[in-house]
Structures are given as structure tokens and as C-alpha cells.
Structure 1
Amino acid sequence: MNRLFILALPLVLLAGCQEDDLAGLPPAVTMPADAVGHYCQMVLAEHPGPKAQVLLDGEETPLFFSQVRDAISYQRMPEQSHAITAIYVNDMAAAPSWEEPGADNWIAAGAAHFVVGSTRVGGMGAAELVPFSDADTAAAFAAEHGGRVERLDGIADHEVLSPEETPQAHDGHDFMKRLERVSQERES
């Protein structure tokens, strides 16, 4: 019995430390209906998929992101001018739908289970990291839409920092049609 206790004690302490780390975070902010994405400056409510907010040291208003992938990318790039105090992501297990991810269902990114590499794309049409508070719900989403479940620290930098390839980037036919149309406009 004592041996089992000694073996389990580090796991209990580790779980307690993780909860303490998350308990000290400043609270998430309700996403206003007119919130715009930090990178795209577009109204978030007009785009489907999960959103994120990044709270910065010394700033009262968070940066909102159209996609969770963008917020994690922001976190990992060295260009930020302020220290990040917290990152929150929509809990898609509590979201009304993909089209309406919610304004108040935030979870700390460090507590989320992310589906990486699914067929679902985020609000800006790029690959998305789909966050869930529950590992089983994340696994069910991955079974339906592809991908794998990872914690934040298991997501490789190249999965959020690499340029996103879109089908249009490889569609030479579309490019040729646009080029032809521009050429015709110049001739007339």
C-alpha cells in the first residue's frame, strides 16, 4: 500500500501544479460582437470555427484571433512587444456550433486538448487547431474529421508557423483564368 502511494504521489503533485498554474491566470474576456481579428482586422462573428484571445501584460483589452492556430503562432513568434499573460481558446465541446463558436466558452490553452490536422478549416480558411476541454470529445471529433489529439506542448512549431498551403495555391487553371481576364481587360 505504501509503495503504491509513493508511486502515485508525483502524479498527484504534478496535476496539482498544473491546476495551480492555470488558477493564477487572469480571466478570459467575453468576446464582443464587434471584435476583430488581430491579423486580419475582420469581424470575428462573420467567420466560422474556434477563436482565441491573448491577454498581454499591461494591456486591458486582449488581442482576438480569427483562428486558434493564429494565436498559438503569435505566442511562438519572437516579435511580440509584450509578455503574454494568458491565452484562451473556444471550448468547442461547449460551442453552439462550428458557425457560432461562442463568446463566453473560453478555456485556457494550456488546459485544452487540441485536434491537429483535421479536415475542418478555421475562420480564415486555413488548417485549424480545434480545442476541447475534454479529451474524449476531442477524440470523437478526430474520429469524425481526421487528425490527432495533442496538448499545447505537443503541437510542433512547424504546425503553426509554416505557411498554410491552400488548394488555390496549386490551382493553375484558376490562375490562368484570372491572367486571361486581366489581359482581355487591358486590350479593351
Structure 2
Amino acid sequence: MKRLVILLCLLALAACREEAAPPPDAVSLNTDAVGHFCQMTILEHPGPKAQVHLEGLPGAPLFFSQVRDAIAYQRMPEQEGVIRAIHVNDMGAAPSWQSPGADNWILADQAHYVVGSERTGGMGAPELVPFADAGAAREFAARHGGKVAMLDEIPDAAVLEAAGPGVAGGDVGDEDDFAARLRKLSNERQN
């Protein structure tokens, strides 16, 4: 009898246990996608992109102009939403650096990243360059510098520290430099 009660309890516990839901699918990149931090159309920027899917917002991910920014968002202590999935462009399947692709998404925790390469992302900051294939990541690192790492091996400093002088997200520098960059941007938009 005792064994039967234990067996029934185990079966009841197993039945009550919820199966983990699979991560949401990536959303195709289109002209409506704007960067979460910059609020700019991300198709206007080169380099790999990312999308973060939050619980309670099905089919409406937060898009990021740079992979680095999405990983920073994930690691920020003030980030409160439950992240269901982060998808990043597989740059091994990307048409080019200028056009990283609309549907070549891979889960961020399964990607092989080149960290510290000479390539900068869409906002001009150092970029984490994701690949589905480790060999493709090593080839990219051989051509452009950097080291290959998995997501959990990327140091916080690579995504949370300022990008440097004159780079979006970094120190602005002196006021004259900032004013000159604003004038240049304003002139570009007028032309």
C-alpha cells in the first residue's frame, strides 16, 4: 500500500509539472523594425542585428541595431522583463555586412561570437559577430581579428562598458566635437 501511495504521488507530481515552452520563433526583419535604444530604422545600419522576445509580448520583439546592445540589455541589472528568447543574425548566412539578412536568425545562446574584431556594428560601436558555425566564426576572426566565444563566455565589459570616444554609446568627448557631429548629422538628413 505504501508503495502504491508513493507511486501515485510521483505520478501526480509528474502530471502537474509544466513542460518548458519552446522559445518563440524569430520575426522577419522588415522596414518597420526600429532599434529599441536608438529608435532608428535598423535596416539603415550595417552589421548583425538582434531581437529580444519578452514574455507577454508575443510576436512583438524588441529589435536592436547591434547584437552588443541586445546582450547589454539582457545583462543590465535594471532589466525587469522575462526574456523568452534572443535571436541574432547568423553572419555566416548573411548576404553581406551591409545587409545581414531578414530571416537568417539563430538563438543567441547557440551562436559562436567573434569578440574584439575590427568590425563595428550598426551604431559604430565594437560588435559581437554571431555565427551558427564555429568554423565560419574562426575564419571571420582570422580575417578581422578577435576571438571566438560562446555567449556565456563573453565578458560583461565587452557589452556594458562605454564604446569609446566618438562612438554611439561611448563618451561624447568635448562639446565642440559633439556639436560638429550634430551639424554633420543634420546636414546629412537635409540632403
Q: TM-score, normalised by structure 1?
A: 0.77
Alpha-carbon displacement from aligned partner over 1:150-188 (angstroms, at most 9, x marks no partner): 00000011110001103576987x74995xxxxxxxxxx
Residue 142 of structure 1: how far off its partner (Å): 0.3
| Aligned twin of 2:35 | 37
**Residues 146, 58 of structure 1: CA spacing in aligned structure 2 closer, same or farther, 3 A cutoff?**
same
**Can you give the 5+ residue segments of structure 2 that lack an aligned partner in the other structure?**
1-19, 181-191
Percent of aligned positions that are identical: 61
Residue 112 of structure 1: how far off its partner (Å): 0.2
Q: Provide runs of 4+ in structure 1 moved above 2 Å.
A: 166-172, 174-178
Alpha-carbon displacement from aligned partner over 1:98-150 (angstroms, at most 9, x marks no partner): 00001100000011000000000000000000000000100000000000000
AA paired with 1:57?
E
CA contact (8 A) 2:94 2:100 kept: yes
**Residues 176, 161 of structure 1: CA spacing in aligned structure 2 closer, same or farther, 3 A cutoff?**
closer
Q: TM-score, normalised by structure 2?
A: 0.76
1:126-137 paired onto structure 2 within 5 Å: 126-137=125-136
**Residues 80, 141 of structure 1: CA spacing in aligned structure 2 closer, same or farther, 3 A cutoff?**
same
CA contact (8 A) 2:165 2:173 kept: no
2:74 and 2:94 map into 1 onto residues whose CA distance is: 24
Q: Pairwise CA RMSD of aligned residues?
A: 2.3
1:44 and 1:124 map into 2 onto residues whose CA distance is: 10
Question: Normalized per residue, which structure has more helix?
Answer: 1
| Aligned twin of 2:12 | none
**Residues 124, 170 of structure 1: CA spacing in aligned structure 2 closer, same or farther, 3 A cutoff?**
closer
AA paired with 2:28?
T
| Aligned twin of 1:48 | 46
Question: What is the number of residues matched between the two proteins?
Answer: 157
**Can you give the 5+ residue segments of structure 1 that lack an aligned partner in the other structure?**
1-20, 179-188
2:136 and 2:148 map into 1 onto residues whose CA distance is: 10
